[in-house]
Structure 1
Amino acid sequence: MADTILSLTDARLKLMGNAGPVEILRGITLGVTRGETLGLTGPSGSGKSSLLMLMGGLERATGGKVTALGQDLGAMGEDALARFRRDHMGVVFQSFHLIPTMTALENVATPLELAGVADAFTRAAEELEAVGLGGRVDHYPAQMSGGEQQRVALARAAVVRPEILLADEPTGNLDGNTGAAIMDLLFGLRDRHGATLVLVTHAPELAERCDRMVQLIDGRLDQ
């Protein structure tokens, strides 16, 4: 389909464990259309996060094919993949992954600086303002609460104005009220930038906000 932005065809992932090879994903065929919000659900260990990593090129499929924006991720080298993510994707993790020696402003500006954007810090400041942290630009991660750190992570993911936004349990380390606020911000960023959002979550109330839900069971899509 012309408006398919992410496509997986019989995608498989096999990793080597202590007791030998382990099949994580067992033949996933799935398409995500431009502007769609897709919720990935399923029990722990079902392969949700691994599927998200395949979509972002952070993990390579060991079988099948994964394409994003028409590009075959499996055919790209590591440098090309990194540039592709930088230019087209925003990724939000459960554990924030901020650089501890950088301020909030520097953390958010980093992907723009790497891309050679001239007004990186101006755009980073605007994005921090959009997530309610305009007064915290000079603070370091250790000086911020978990909810504030996740807001910085959201701003960093959104500042490149990505076509694809991937979020892996973004509220998993937060209390209920803070998590709800983060989800409102995440969906707001999607609306503001027109991004396609793929969200891994255990929370039914979050998955229900998505346009479509897909459940994984033991590395397979539950049809």
Structure 2
Amino acid sequence: MSTPDQPIIAARDLTFEVGGAAGRVNILRGVSLEVARGEALGIVGPSGSGKTSLLMLLAGLEQATGGTLRVAGQDLGAMDEEALARFRREQVGIVFQAFHLIPTMTALENVAVPLEFAGRADAFDRAAEALKQVGLGHRLGHYPGQLSGGEQQRVAVARAFVAAPALLLADEPTGNLDRATGQAVMELLFGLREQHGTTLVLITHDPALAARCPRQVRIEDGLIAADSALLPVAAE
């Protein structure tokens, strides 16, 4: 586990390659990044620059092809699939652009899933409380298909926070929502982040949304092109 004075994310010369019909493609070409515990970091950059790939590495959903990556004090490159699944369950919450809710489960069941996997006897009580926190205490028994887009993303936010993760990763969380609904969801997400002291890494194409994070990093062509901790980050 990382201590309060250690970065929750420590990436050194990360590379990530994928195979394709035309051969190997370099997605990340040597990314080094440190993020302090409790920090809110916005990641911006053009489509295809490597933003989402970096998030997938931070979540332990993909393995880097080079470099080192420690998240919450754990060396992700040294972990097998079982250890990575445990790491995600215990340390990471994720909110995607697509809501990724299980359509055959109610809102309550969707939020309880990570707690059930962790063996928590109070999974449903905690899930109900998390849904109340996002304003959906009256929707516990509704299925995703019975909820609006904004409500579905609120369920996804509740699921991401329910296990009190050290790190929250959000990839274009308002991308499928209209502006007003998106703003409401982000107010909720930032409010919960502050309440829980959670580290946030937010990927977005919206400069105004990125600007809500005290620090911004711009990725271009698989490399960090700018870091507002060092120099300003240009808008999209």
User: Which TM class, normalised by the smaller chain length?
Assistant: over 0.9
Alpha-carbon separation, structure 1, partners of 2:154 and 2:203: 17
* Equivalent residue, structure 2, for 1:155: 158
Deviations 1:85-132 (A, max 9, x none): 101110111001101100000000010011011111111001001101
Displacement after TM superposition at 1:189 (Å)? 1.3
Alpha-carbon separation, structure 1, partners of 2:196 and 2:80: 28
Displacement after TM superposition at 1:192 (Å)? 1.6
Alpha-carbon separation, structure 1, partners of 2:197 and 2:8: 13
The correspondence for 2:28, drawn from 25, 28, 34, is 25
The correspondence for 2:79, drawn from 76, 80, 98, is 76
Alpha-carbon separation, structure 2, partners of 1:17 and 1:212: 34
The correspondence for 1:44, drawn from 41, 47, 57, is 47
Displacement after TM superposition at 1:193 (Å)? 1.2
Alpha-carbon separation, structure 2, partners of 1:155 and 1:70: 25
Give ranges in structure 1 of 5+ residues lacking alignment.
Answer: none
For residue 141 of structure 1, what is the amino acid of its counterpart? P
Q: Percent identity?
A: 65
For residue 40 of structure 1, what is the amino acid of its counterpart? I
* Equivalent residue, structure 1, for 2:230: none
* Equivalent residue, structure 2, for 1:60: 63
Q: How many residues align?
A: 223
The correspondence for 1:100, drawn from 85, 99, 103, is 103
Alpha-carbon separation, structure 2, partners of 1:70 and 1:107: 28
Alpha-carbon separation, structure 1, partners of 2:11 and 2:91: 18
The correspondence for 1:214, drawn from 211, 214, 217, is 217
Indicate the RMSD between aligned Cα atoms, in angstroms.
0.9
Displacement after TM superposition at 1:3 (Å)? 2.6
- Report whether the alignment pairs 1:139 with 2:142: yes
Displacement after TM superposition at 1:211 (Å)? 1.5
* Equivalent residue, structure 1, for 2:229: none
Alpha-carbon separation, structure 1, partners of 2:220 and 2:208: 19
Alpha-carbon separation, structure 2, partners of 1:28 and 1:189: 29
* Equivalent residue, structure 2, for 1:9: 12
Q: TM-score, normalised by structure 1?
A: 0.98
Deviations 1:160-201 (A, max 9, x none): 000100000000010000000111111011112111000000
Deviations 1:119-168 (A, max 9, x none): 11111001001101010000000111111100000000000000100000
Other structure's SS at 2:110 match: helix
Other structure's SS at 2:202 match: strand
- Report whether the alignment pairs 1:112 with 2:115: yes
* Equivalent residue, structure 1, for 2:171: 168
Give ranges in structure 2 of 5+ residues lacking alignment.
Answer: 227-236
